[in-house]
Amino acid sequence: MKPTLSRRRFLPLLAGAAHLPAQPAKRPNILFAIADDWSYPHPRVTDAPWIKTPNFDRVAREGVRFTNCFTSNPKCSPSRATILTGRNSWQLKEAVSHYSVFPSEFPVYPDLLEKAGYFVGYTGKGWGPGDFKSTGWKRNPAGPAFERFTLQPPQRGISPKDYARNFAFFLEQKGKDQPFSFWLGGHEPHRGYEEGSGVRAGKRPGEIALPGYYPDNRTIRGDMLDYALEVEWFDRQLGLALQKLEEIGELDNTLVVVTSDNGYPFPRAKGQIYEHSFHLPLAVRWGRQIAAGRVVDDFINFRDYAPTFLEAAGLKPAPSMTGRGFLDILRSGKSGTVDATRNVMLIGKERHDLGRPYDQGYPVRAIRTPEYLYVRNYEPGRWPAGNPETGYRNVDDGPSKEFLLSGFDDYYRMSFGKRPAEELYLLKTDPDCVKNLATDLSHAQAKRTLLERMERMLREEGDPRMLGNAAFFDTIEYTGPKKHSYDNWLRYQR
């Protein structure tokens, strides 16, 4: 395939970008590698000895590791929509919800790069799950699919897609000297897992430091080791992709970004509004363009990726994009805090999965600062993980879920019980978010300040829930399987 835009025609696009950092003579490639359900504490480099991630660790060692990377909505399709469009999920109309439609009015960075002459594509999981075709998309918003090659996976639950070989095939199809942008979307470590596979592989349950919302239990430890194997499979595919880039001499001209879409698929994590649900790993490598071996604490929002990729290519972000590119941080050569204004994150959700009367959602908004996480639950009378009678469908099934449901104790309550209207956590002493300080008078002023700041920022971003149009969220179609809806459960009971 030939480039769609010649170098001569591309130059005028750069004329309006004089304010950007100096660009390399050759336009950079972009490799975006995204896992499915992998939480921040779980690369080896962040002191998780029970998970081996040598390739993520390499990207971090040869580039920059960010300690504060967050998604605005910790579920697959809204999180991925934020990445593609450069907008927080409540700015995306129907795409705020899981298993929704993807509106066609918001440009996505792969399309913009393609129009500027880039060869684009993806393998594995792009945007989804949901429906993009009914709104006019001709292909997945992540780009053209490269899915030709498969393999025999080592464990059940691991996808048979050969990500690395599909990436190599993609590279063979691009034009000579044409820059590329590729989305390597692992399906791992999404459930289900081959139960006991971690222990059989020689992993030791005793190495795991369980979070405070779980009891010290061998079933949960074993489940987490099975999860670890799938993280390692994703990391292995990343390593093969890096190796391929080295072979063809393109590694140092490639902006490599490695992250995950949301937290690990365990109770009180994925899909909920706590630290391990929306706080995600992020490492970035770009050859000589950025100084290596740095650890940066600035807050990175998933909506910042799209403008970063476009600016790296010498393009201006689309006017619809509300994220902030972070090339300045990458090129600063600094560690720690680089930009002191990057110190706040908004998080929220509406409807994720089914499992409540009338297919209701569980609306939440939250604000995260270096010190606190403040959470506002707008419907505290509803079950946050889905109704008990339908099986708590907002939590992925697995051994840990089954064990926690076997005892109606504090651990059950933290994962599945109803929650108060307000929650407040002091992250320095409580990173697992188990001690709610919302009624503690010594934190009353901090809580009030966080609430006011959060609502002001959400109004500025046009959040319908803040502007008197929360009813809109109840009109969003659920495009996934309806077998877990409350109505279907009632029919079964009759």
pLDDT band at 4 (very low <50, low <70, confident <90, very high): very low
pLDDT value at 11 more than 50: no
pLDDT tens across 279-317, in order?
999 999 999 999 999 999 999 999 999 999 999 999 999
Residue 16: pLDDT band by 50, 70, 90 thresholds?
Answer: very low
Alpha-carbon distance 92 to 212, whole Å? 34
Percentage, residues of the chain above pLDDT 70: 93
Between strands 64-70 and 294-301, the pairing is parallel
Q: Does domain 346-493 have CATH number 3.30.1120.10?
A: yes
The domain ranges of the chain are 28-342, 346-493
Half-sphere exposure of 370 (CA within 13 A, CB side): 10
> How does residue 46 score in pLDDT terms, banded at 50, 70 and 90?
confident
Give me the torsion for CA of 407, 409, 412, 415, rounded to 10°: -170
| Beta-carbon count within 10 A of 489 CB | 18
Question: The tokens 């809109």 sit on which residue?
Answer: 472
Q: Reduced to 3 DSSP states, what percent helix, strand and coil does the chain have, rounded to the nearest 5?
A: 35, 15, 50
> Of 58, 119, 11, whose CA–CA distance to 251 is shortest?
58
Does the pLDDT at position 193 exceed 60?
yes
Tokens of residue 29, six digits: 């490639």
Is 64 a residue whose pLDDT tops 80? yes
Tell me: pLDDT of 494 over 80.
no
- Token readout for 213 is 């919302």
Under the banding of pLDDT at 50, 70 and 90, the label for residue 372 is: very high
**Could you check whether 28-342 and 346-493 share the same CATH topology?**
no
Least confident of 321-330, 428-437, 475-484: 475-484
C-alpha 451: how far from its chain's center? 24
Residue 45 pLDDT more than 90?
no
What single DSSP character describes residue 487? H
First to last CA, the chain: 58
Question: Residue 206 and residue 218: Cα distance in Å, rounded?
Answer: 9
Neighbours of 166 (CB within 10 A): 24
Tokens for 111, please give them.
């399309």
pLDDT digits (tens, 9 = 90+) for 224-265: 999 999 999 999 999 999 999 999 999 999 999 999 999 999
- Mean pLDDT value of segment 435-448: 98
Residue 408 CB contacts under 8 Å (≥ 6 apart), including other chains: none
Q: Residue 25: what pLDDT?
A: 63
Q: Which two tokens stand for residue 375?
A: 């959470």
Residue 191 one-letter amino acid: R
What is the structure's pLDDT at 2?
35
Query: What's the CATH architecture for 28-342?
Result: 3-Layer(aba) Sandwich (3.40)
Kindly calculate the radius of gyration of the chain based on its CA atoms and give it in whole angstroms. Answer: 22
Q: What is the pLDDT of residue 492?
A: 62
Q: What is the arrangement of strands in the sheet containing 294-301, beginning at the earlier edge strand?
A: 119-124, 180-185, 29-35, 254-260, 279-285, 64-70, 294-301
Residue 369 has pLDDT above 50, yes or no: yes
Q: Where are the beta strands (DSSP E) in 292-443?
A: 294-301, 345-349, 364-368, 372-377, 422-426
Taking the C-alpha atoms of residue 459 and residue 456, their distance in angstroms, rounded to an integer, is 5
Q: Mean pLDDT throughout 457-474?
A: 97
Residue 218 to residues 199, 265, 400, Cα–Cα distance (Å): 11, 18, 10
* pLDDT bucket at 490, cuts 50 / 70 / 90: low
Rounded (10°) angle between helices 218-247 and 163-173? 20
The torsion angles phi and psi of 307, rounded to 5 degrees, stand at: -65, -30
70, 194, 369, 431, 453 from 297: Cα distances, Å: 12, 36, 12, 16, 21
Percent of the chain with pLDDT over 90: 90
**Torsion angle, CA of 373/378/380/386, rounded to 10 degrees?**
-90
User: Binning pLDDT at 50, 70 and 90, where does residue 271 land?
Assistant: very high
Dig out the tokens for 270 from the structure: 């994925």
Per residue in 73-92, pLDDT (tens digit) is: 999 999 999 999 999 999 99
Mean pLDDT of 455-468: 98
Question: What local confidence, expressed as pLDDT, does residue 15 receive?
Answer: 32
Q: Confidence band (pLDDT; 50, 70, 90) for 370? A: very high
What's the rounded mean pLDDT across residues 193-203?
97
pLDDT, mean of residues 477-485 = 82
List the alpha helices (DSSP H) in 205-326: 218-247, 275-278, 305-312
Residues 6 or more apart from 169 whose CB is under 8 A from it?
146, 148, 149
Write the DSSP symbol of residue 107. -
Q: Give the number of other CB atoms < 10 A from CB of residue 239.
A: 17
Compute the distance between CA of residue 63 and CA of residue 49 in angstroms, rounded to an integer: 21
| pLDDT in the model for residue 242 | 98
Global confidence as pTM: 0.93
pLDDT band at 488 (very low <50, low <70, confident <90, very high): confident
